[in-house]
Amino acid sequence: MLKKLRELAPKSIRHKLIIASIACILVPAVLTLFIYNSLTQEAVKRQALANAEDSLKLVHGSVTNRLNGMLTIVNYVQVNPGLRSYFKLVASNNEVGDKYQRFMNANRVLEQLDSLTFVGEKSYVTVILNNGSYYMNYSVSDYNPPDLLKKPWFENLRGLSGMESYWTGAEPTDFSYDKFDHPFQVTVARPLRLDSAEIFGYVAVTIMEDKLHEIFDNLSAGQEVVLLDETGTIVSGGNPELIGKAFAYNEATNGLKESSILSIAGDKYLVAQQGISSNGWRLVLMQPYKQSIVDISTIFNRVFIIQLLSFFVFLILLIVLVRAFTKPLVRLGKVTTAVQRGNLQVRSGVRGNDEIGRLGFLFDQMLDRVKEMIAEVSDTQARKRKAELKMLQAQINPHFLFNVLNSIRMKVMKRGDPESAKMIGSLSMLLRMTISREEDEIFLHEEIELVTHYVGLMNLRQKEEAELLLDIDPKAFLIKVPRFFLQPLVENALIHGLSQKPGVILIKAIFKDSFLILTVEDNGVGMDASNLERIYCTMRFDDHPVPGKEEAKGSFSGIGLHNVVERMRILFGETFDIVLRSELGTGTVIEMHIPYREEIRDV
């Protein structure tokens, strides 16, 4: 599983940056949207409930005004002194005056009843007295007032006292003129009592039910309001078919003190209700929760879409910027791939003041340096092979030569010439140490031994011997040095310095700082400045001979001073240095500064 995930993981730094950037934007965005959604849902819920309560308050105010208007008429009839006195006289059959006077009194009462509903909504006012007299503000052809006494609820009026009223709820319309357009009516009635509490008549006020539910038509879409009586029967509502029937959700909504969200039949409804103090009825507003938040949700959805679009715009911008920022890195990656394949000519060309620009500049510099180092190494190897070739050219078959020299030494010893035998032994030892060993490096004490044998042999060629003096720090004997590097210097001292005459050759080795100072000094004829400069040029430009540069004819090795310097620099690097000092008549000093490191010792 982990292996597959690693295979699917992006391998480009650009893709990693893009994915990381997307994650850094997406994760906070998702968390923000999640928190935003949680908070807005609660806010939407509170706002929907507040809207429902505000709508219900408006409806409650209008409905209450209509119902209070009916009570106002009833109260007016009951407490108005003129009407009350008149109705008492008529009910007790004590009305005074002739017929005309009575007619005019009755007419004034009817006009007064008509005036009660002239400004407001149409209301049907009926006053029935115990003696059978009745007064109303409508025509008898519309409705016969004595029929009011036949209503099933009429007997309930007798049990009322004081200012109590009886509300009938919704019932079929009795007025023939309005029956077809207004199928239901609502009536409030109250008994008229004497000071002795004896009933002398009744007053009833009726309005059409649609005067109530037309208030509900101004509500928002989806909001439904019903007016319920104490038993949960629908008094008024938008659907005429349900008026007079029990409210289906009466149990769920009954006792609800504040607006809330209820789950009814698997659907969520926003429910708010408010009671009417005058008669104990209540208004119930119901609305599907989805419809109640549709407007608010639309706003939030638009905000969400804007945020989503902003996210994608910023994401595209981020990808473009990341691609622009990582373009130099991609270029560097392609260049490194080309370098890995062996193309050292390619360059990135990436420049700038930032880290990537500096990296590109340093990478190109590194390639230039690598190219120079390869050229230097190739040149060094070529010079090394050239020096080794010169050494090989100076070698002869060691096995044959050793056998011959050993035979000669044995014959000389048999003839009683030990000095000549010793000379031949030294020659054999010299040759064995120089041409028969395969090591490129030997200890300094071995090199000193070789030089000692060489000087001994050279003294046999001369009439007068040269003296070899050694002043070597004991620690220096274990330093590894190139094989056969002192012999050319001693040979030059014998042939050119002392001119094969008596003299002293001093080999001195001391440690100073981190260098071994190895000196070859003679007290010969020395040389002038021009010859000294020529030798310096020879050491620096060994591949391109300078005028006057010649190696000593007939020298033992034929390698020359410049080859010694070249080999030393190959082994010890550029830290190796050689210094020549010479004056005519005082001799020559060759001083070599060999870097000393513990790792080159072999104890």
- pLDDT tens-digit profile of 367-379? 888 888 988 888 8
331 and 261 inside one domain: no
Q: Average pLDDT, stretch 268-289?
A: 86
163 and 253 inside one domain: yes
Q: What is the pLDDT of residues 215-249, one digit of tens each?
A: 887 777 678 888 998 888 999 987 888 888 888 88
263 and 304 inside one domain: no
286 and 311 inside one domain: no
474 and 334 inside one domain: no
Q: How far apart are CA 358 and CA 353, in angstroms?
A: 7
347 and 484 inside one domain: no
Overall number of domains in the chain: 3
480 and 336 inside one domain: no
Contact 77, 203 (CB under 8 A): yes
Q: What is the pLDDT of residues 201-221, one digit of tens each?
A: 999 999 998 888 888 877 776
Instruction: Tell me whether residue 124 is in a domain.
Output: yes
Q: What is the pLDDT of residues 107-148, one digit of tens each?
A: 888 888 888 764 556 889 999 999 889 999 888 888 999 999
Question: Domain holding 519: CATH number?
Answer: 3.30.565.10
Q: What is the pLDDT of residues 279-290, one digit of tens each?
A: 889 989 888 877
Q: DSSP string of 366-397? A: HHHHHHHHHHHHHHHHHHHHHHHHHHHHT---
Distances (CA, A) of 12 to 18, 325, 331, 333, 557: 10, 14, 12, 9, 62
Q: What is the pLDDT of residues 545-577, one digit of tens each?
A: 444 444 433 333 334 778 888 888 888 888 899
213 and 132 inside one domain: yes
- Give the SS3 label for residue 425: helix
Please say which residue of 372, 406, 436 terminates a domain. 372
Note if the pTM is more than 0.85.
Answer: no
For residue 189, what pLDDT is reported?
94
Residue 463 or residue 92, greater confidence: 92
Please say which residue of 372, 396, 422 terminates a domain. 372
132 and 201 inside one domain: yes
Q: Average pLDDT, stretch 294-305?
A: 74
Please say which residue of 292, 326, 356 terminates a domain. 292
- Structure tokens of 311? 């996210």
Among 505, 484, 485, CA closest to 494: 505
333 and 277 inside one domain: no
Q: Which domain holds residue 470?
A: 465-540+558-602
305 and 201 inside one domain: no
- Structure tokens of 281? 């009825």
488 and 533 inside one domain: yes
For residue 126, what pLDDT is reported?
93
Distances (CA, A) of 271 to 22, 45, 49, 52, 240: 44, 12, 8, 8, 21
